């Protein structure tokens, strides 16, 4: 690795500021969109996870979103009260339960998810598809490089992650 020049370091700092501001603006827009459906970011992410992955153990949901077990119970309780999810016992293990999206929850998400995807597309419409592909590759290169330097295993990317994820 070569030592960066002062000009290179200044460019790095500018890039970080631009990325930070763009991400804040993008996620602010997505949060406002999710709020318009009467959902918090957490509840939306959980619904989307169940929508795409099907019934999941509550522990797996907790781990996937780094939500403490007490908090995940609260969030699932709120979704249960709205009749969007139900808890189902896991056969053979009375201590564990699956969270399953109800038919009502699926109908609700069938209605709002395409609108949310459109909001994402509208927000990203300022770049061409070619620019987006280049940006994906550059951001992956930076992310994988950081992980490699820190000795963090690099997991294979999956394209089925949620646009609302990862906040």
Domain 6-126 grouped into CATH 1.10.238.10: no
- The Cα 72–Cα 99 span in angstroms is 11
Output the pLDDT for position 166.
Answer: 38
Q: For residue 84, give every residue at least 6 positions away whose Cβ sits within 8 Å of its Cβ, in sequence order, or none.
A: 47, 101, 102, 104, 105, 108, 109
Output the pLDDT for position 1.
Answer: 62
Give the CA angle between residues 38, 19, 137 to the nearest 5°: 100
Write down the pTM of the prediction: 0.79
For 155-162, which contacts have Cβ atoms below 8 Å and span 24 or more sequence positions? Answer: 160/52, 162/45, 162/48, 162/49, 162/52
Q: For residue 45, give every residue at least 6 positions away whose Cβ sits within 8 Å of its Cβ, in sequence order, or none.
A: 65, 162, 164, 165
pLDDT tens figures, 4-15:
899 999 999 999
- The Cα 8–Cα 27 span in angstroms is 28
Output the pLDDT for position 157.
Answer: 59
Output the pLDDT for position 94.
Answer: 78
Q: Name the CA radius of gyration of the chain, rounded.
A: 19
Residue 126 has pLDDT above 70, yes or no: yes
pLDDT tens figures, 52-108:
999 999 999 999 999 888 888 899 999 999 999 999 988 888 788 999 999 999 999
- Report residue 154 as tokens: 């690099």
156: confidence class by pLDDT, cuts 50, 70, 90: low
29: confidence class by pLDDT, cuts 50, 70, 90: very high
Q: What are the domain boundaries of the chain?
A: 6-126
Taking alpha carbons only, the member of 98, 96, 94, 91 closest to residue 50 is 98
Output the pLDDT for position 91.
Answer: 83
- Report residue 99 as tokens: 């969270």
Window from 49-53, 110-114, 163-167 with minimum mean pLDDT: 163-167
19: confidence class by pLDDT, cuts 50, 70, 90: very high
Residue 112 has pLDDT above 90, yes or no: yes
């Amino acid at each position: 690795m070569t030592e960066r020049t002062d000009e290179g370091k200044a460019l790095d700092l500018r890039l970080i500021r631009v990325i930070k501001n763009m991400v804040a603006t993008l996620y602010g827009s997505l949060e406002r969109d999710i709020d318009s459906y009467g959902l918090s970011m957490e509840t939306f992410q959980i619904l989307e996870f169940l929508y795409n992955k099907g019934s999941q153990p509550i522990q797996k949901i907790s781990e996937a979103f780094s939500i403490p077990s007490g908090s995940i119970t609260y969030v699932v309780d709120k979704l249960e009260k709205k009749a969007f999810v139900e808890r189902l016992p896991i056969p053979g293990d009375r201590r564990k339960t699956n969270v399953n999206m109800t038919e009502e929850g699926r109908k609700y998400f069938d209605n709002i998810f395409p609108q949310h995807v459109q909001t994402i597309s509208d927000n990203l419409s300022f770049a061409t598809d070619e620019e987006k592909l280049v940006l994906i590759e550059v951001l992956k290169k930076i992310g994988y490089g950081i992980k490699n330097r820190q000795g963090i295993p690099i997991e294979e990317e999956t394209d089925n992650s949620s646009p609302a994820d990862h906040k």
